Amino acid sequence: MVNEKMMEKLKKLATLIRYYILIMTTYAGSGHPTSSLSGTELMACLLFGGIFRFDVDHPKSPNNDRLIFSKGHASPLFYALWTAAGELSEEDLLTYRKFGSPLEGHPTVSFRYVEAATGSLGQGLSIGVGMALNAKYIDKLPYRTYVLLGDSEMAEGSQWESMQIAAHYKLNNLIGILDVNRLGQRGETMYGWDIEAYEKRISSFGWKTIVLDGHSISGIFAAYEETLHVTDQPVMLIGKTIKGKGVSFIENKNGWHGKVLSKEECDRALKELGEIDKSVRGEISLPEDLRPKEPTPQKPLKKIDYPADKPVATRKAYGNALVRIFPQFPNMVSLDGEVSNSTYSEIFKETYPERFFEMYIAEQNMVGAALGLSRRGKIPFVSTFAAFFTRAFDQIRMSQYSDPNIKFVGSHAGVSIGEDGPSQMGLEDIAMFRAILNSVVLYPSDAISTERLVEEAAKHHGLVYIRTTRKETSIVYRPEEEFPIGGSKVLRRSDKDIATVIGAGVTLHEALEAYEALRKEGIFIRVIDLYSIKPIDERTLREAAQATKGIVTVEDHYAEGGIGEAVMSALATSRAPVYSLAVKKKPKSGKPQELLDYENISQIGIVRKVKELI
């Protein structure tokens, strides 16, 4: 229980935090003070009441408890907390939302105490799931992960994905704190202050729920203490709170979301706060100083070994590659969205079951959890059908602001999957992943290049996408071939090349067939395997553009944002004509080859286009 002295101190701290929230938002002229004021006691008690354990001098310490503001717009509260902890000055706070300040409008990892960027709602809990999975199943450390949630964002389906997976994995080290302040951006939330509605739903998803008054320090304390004794369930504190709490004229009033007080209103509000003790400082408890053993990278156990004459699906080579390289990258984990027998991550699961997490058909949470794992030093390989990554585009997009180290692997790319039809065809995935800043987009064409590119992906710190193919493709390369990120392979070249055909994945094989067909007619083409779509091998492309009459790109993907446009972009100032063969008609069910022909991206289409260029 909290003693009277602590109670007094926490009250002072709450007042100080409110003071910070108000001055920083009024000074900035924008921000979300009311959404910050509602969560003040919930957070002050957590951080400064001895619950939260964190070494402020070593924010990256593996022993620290983690705190994620899923309601990222409450960033003023977050920054105010760290100011109350003595880690920021009042002067720092006045840089809030200014260009170059680490105190951005919504939290980003520019500020050293932010675990992951938030601001698109409904994502913090999944990041927390990743961190809690890491603590419980991988690092086996006692740190706990706390996530502050808004009530509006409970409408996001992603929350319920996280909720079910957290319960499934019995993440008792994951604590949600739901700040039910009743009001969303433009009015009341779906449930207002119907706390029971939240309680029923959350407990039905397998969580322990604790309902409390979110402004009662003693109540909050009791709740946090209760969470410490839960052994097999995640816990949700459901706090009834008042938006704008502490400032009478904005308390529980609609129309005050994302709105700041004027200078005069702020002065009036500060008076209402009463005495502000600027000398009080919140103390955060230190965690135990445990030293988890860092695993030592070893050489791969196996060699790459595929018979040169036996076709292998690149998705299968992906599974093999994971197993092969794990000793070298012992921080790897594999996550899959209930399709491990299609993506072939099941090969990894069979060998390293303790490093594999079944995430079921809930891609948003899977990607969020991968970010959480990545932020805790793991290298997540996340696999599902290429098409289904679109389900998590917002999470993928947001991850780019958290210095991610995640490898996305999408199988079943393109019309070449055949009979299953368009719903299962990844046709926008290259466009999606290319549009992420500093992303790497790789597309192997055979088992060997897959093995190598999986290795390159693991080596590279950053967000990488690897596109694999459902159908078997023949072996193109020798096992010792290297595939650096940003490279390409010129597979056919001569002095007589009249055009350059650029393929990748399944279309590379079509390009090689077109080469043979044309060669028989005495027509020579250069064939390039663009296995690295981003970054792209500009030099090789430019050389080819200069040496031949035109470039033909061919891809099993829609034209926009795909390989064709990547090549056009690389050659945009080189005056080389680029002809794009891509999926341009509504795809349907059929045999893979029928569909490649129908879309004009098979060797027939390539031959036709090359002949047009003569």
Q: Which residues are the active-site residues?
A: 363
Q: Which residues lie across from 334 on neighbouring strands?
A: 356, 381
Binding flag, residue 119, a copy of itself (CB under 8 A) = yes
With CA atoms as reference, report the closest residue to 119 among 106, 105, 129: 106
- Find the part of the chain contacting a copy of itself (CB under 8 A) among 7-15, 263-271, 503-511, 572-580: 572-580
Which residues between 302 and 341 bind a copy of itself (CB under 8 A)?
A: 338-341
Give the one residue of 566, 581, 601, 607 binding a copy of itself; rule: CB under 8 A: 566
Inter-axis angle of helices 124-133 and 157-168, nearest 10: 20
CA–CA separation, 147 vs 207, rounded Å?
Answer: 14
**Which residue do the tokens 């079943």 mark?**
412
Tokens at 202, concatenated: 């959350």
Q: Which stretch binds a copy of itself (CB under 8 A): 23-31, 76-84, 306-314, 503-511?
A: 23-31
Which region among 51-59, 134-142, 413-421, 500-508 touches a copy of itself (by CB under 8 A)?
413-421
Task: Name the segment binding a copy of itself (CB under 8 A); options: 113-121, 301-309, 310-318, 449-457.
Answer: 113-121
DSSP-derived 3-state class of residue 324: helix
For residue 404, which of 369, 434, 435 has the smallest C-alpha distance? 369
CB of 463 to a copy of itself, least distance (A): 12
Binding mask 35-74 for a copy of itself (x = CB under 8 A): -------------------------------------x--
Contact 36, 42 (CB under 8 A): no
Q: Does 99 bind a copy of itself (CB under 8 A)?
A: yes
Taking the complex as a whole, the smallest distance from the CB of residue 194 to a copy of itself amounts, in Å, to 11
**Residue from 159, 209, 383, 488 binding a copy of itself (CB under 8 A):** 159
What single DSSP character describes residue 136?
I
Q: Give the Cα separation of 84 and 71 in Å (integer).
A: 20
User: Residue 203 to residues 126, 166, 190, 210: CA-CA distances in angstroms?
Assistant: 18, 12, 18, 10
Rama region for 600: left / alpha / beta (φ>0; ψ in -120 to 50; rest): left
Which residue among 346, 513, 538, 543 contacts a copy of itself (CB under 8 A)? 346
Given the complex with a copy of itself, which of 32 and 215 has the nearer CB atom? 32
Q: Does 262 interact with a copy of itself (rule: CB under 8 A)?
A: no
Asked if 184 and 251 touch (Cβ cutoff 8 Å), the reply is no
Q: Which of the residues 72 through 91 are near a copy of itself (CB under 8 A)? A: 72
147 counts as binding a copy of itself under rule CB under 8 A:
no
Residues 182-201 that bind a copy of itself (CB under 8 A): 184-186, 189-190, 200-201
Measuring CA to CA, which residue among 88, 80, 86 is closest to residue 22? 80
Stretch that binds a copy of itself, among 44-52, 135-143, 282-290, 386-394 (CB under 8 A): 386-394
Instruction: Supply φ then ψ for residue 3, to 5 degrees.
Output: -85, 170
Does residue number 104 form part of the binding site for a copy of itself (CB under 8 A)? yes
Torsion of the alpha carbons at 71, 73, 74 and 78, rounded to the nearest 10: 100
Examine residue 156 and tell whether it contacts a copy of itself (CB under 8 A): yes
